[in-house]
Structure 1
Amino acid sequence: MDANRVCAKMIEIGQESVFEAMYLRFYSPLCLFASKYVLDDGDAEDLVGSVFTKLWKDKAPFENFDHLRNFLYRSTYNACLNHLRRSQRNLLLKKRFAEDLSEVGEDYWSGVIRAELITKIFEAIDQLPQHYAQVLRLAFAEELKNEEIADRLDLSIQTVKNYKSRGLEIIRKRISPMAFLLLITMMS
């Protein structure tokens, strides 16, 4: 039995450590994915939490890891759809979601890919030396300019530029070209 099937089988029988690993692996990307549809981060987190609760309670059989991943993304998408249907208080939100539904195939998968790429980027940043990682987190996650980073970390602007450049060079070697392009685009 291959590793993917073993992992899926362990979730099916209720193996807590495997469930926890799946939770840690997918929680953040799923929240990012859900926040595309429900604009409130708290609602997105609640919906993703309910998806994991359903996974734990139902212990549905999965043929492999990809089946499990697809289940999590599709369940999150469906939970978002159900949430928006129940929420009649914001017509703008309903209109936006209706537009997204018309392009669901393309937008759904681009959202999945974007969430996965962002997760890979943050994993790569976390593996950098601390001073590079700190500068890149501020530039990427908080969208601070070099001057703001320099002020916050009590560094010269040139040092911030050097750390950013060296950190990006290391990351470029570790992640896919598509993920690196996304990182550069988001930092611009």
Structure 2
Amino acid sequence: MEDTCFDQLKLGDERVLSAYFNRHGRALLLFAYRIVADASLAEELVQDAYVKLWAARHRLESDAHIKSFLYRTTRNACIDHLRSTDYRMQAVSGESLAENSIQTDSDLLARMIHAETLQLVYAEVKKLSPTQQQVFKLTFVEGLTTEEICSQLEMTANAVFIARSKALATLKRVFKDTDLFLCLTFYALMERSADFPTLT
């Protein structure tokens, strides 16, 4: 499937861009947002990365090259934006925000992995039952107590406990080799941001 998409891209089939956006778009958005802390800007920079991908399609060597190209292009665009406004940050704090945001290859890889893991968390949360999603978000995003959740959802404490336990058990099963607590913490921070689009 990946080879087919890559071949279609090289041949100039614009429709295949949507497949690559579905594959990497959400993780790239999270990746960019962590750097620029602005959801609208992050979305714009990611869209630009796909425009550049299309323009550079003839130079790409493999499907894996596409992923690397998208992350590096997005990272560079984020840093270019920070540099363009950096003089304001330096005037306030005396520090260069752009220079502090420049990452080594190992830093870039770590952020790629983290963004893609978080994308998986979003995807798995969406697979939970509606009740489990509600209890999960009220617990880990809103920080409500069991009593408050019971009142808001008109559920018993036992029902809330069961829904939360099932949700966590599902996520632990999927992310058994990952630091689930870290993922949930960052998930909650992203969801609480008024600037970042929440799950529907």
TM-score (norm 1): 0.81
Aligned residue number for residue 35 of structure 1: 33
CA-to-aligned-CA distance 1:17-67 (integer Å, 9 cap, x gap): 321121122222111111122122221111111111222344344333221
Correspondence for 1:97:
98
For 2:36 and 2:14, the matched residues in 1 are separated by 29
Is contact 2:149-2:160 (8 Å) kept? Answer: yes
Q: Secondary structure at the match of 1:90?
A: helix
**Cα distance change of structure 1 residues 94 and 22 upon mapping to structure 2, 3 Å threshold:** farther
Match of 2:122 in 1: 122
Q: Equivalents in 2 of 1:16, 1:149: separation in Å?
A: 46
Structure 1 stretch 13-22 or stretch 177-186: which is displaced more? Answer: 177-186
The residue that corresponds to 1:44 in the other structure is 42
**Contact 2:53 2:69 (8 Å CA) reproduced:** no
Q: Which amino acid aligns with 2:111?
A: G
Decide whether the 8 Å contact of 1:5 with 1:63 is kept in 2.
no
Residues 81-133 of structure 1: CA distance to partner in whole angstroms, max 9, x if unpaired? 111121233235963432232x5334322211111001111111222222212
The reply on whether 1:53 has 2:51 as its aligned counterpart is yes
Letter in 1 for 2:3: R
Sort the Cα spacing of 1:10 and 1:156 in 2 relative to 1 into closer, same or farther, 3 A.
same
Instruction: Please give the secondary structure, in 1, of the residue aligned with 2:108.
Output: helix
Letter in 2 for 1:5: D
Change (3 A) 1:161 1:97: farther
Contact 2:29 2:46 in 1 (8 A): yes
The answer for the alignment partner of 2:5 in structure 1 is 7
> What is the CA deviation profile of residues 157-186 of structure 1, one whole-angstrom value per residue up to 9, with x for unaligned ones?
443232111111122222342153433555
Q: Is 2:183 aligned against 1:177?
A: no
CA RMSD between the two structures: 2.7
Percent of aligned positions that are identical: 28
Distance 2:161 2:105 in 1: 40
Unmatched 5+ stretches in structure 1: none
**TM superposition score normalised by structure 2:** 0.77
CA displacement at 1:150 relative to structure 2? 3.6
Q: Please list every run of 5 or more consecutive structure 2 residues that lacks an aligned counterpart in the other structure.
A: 189-200
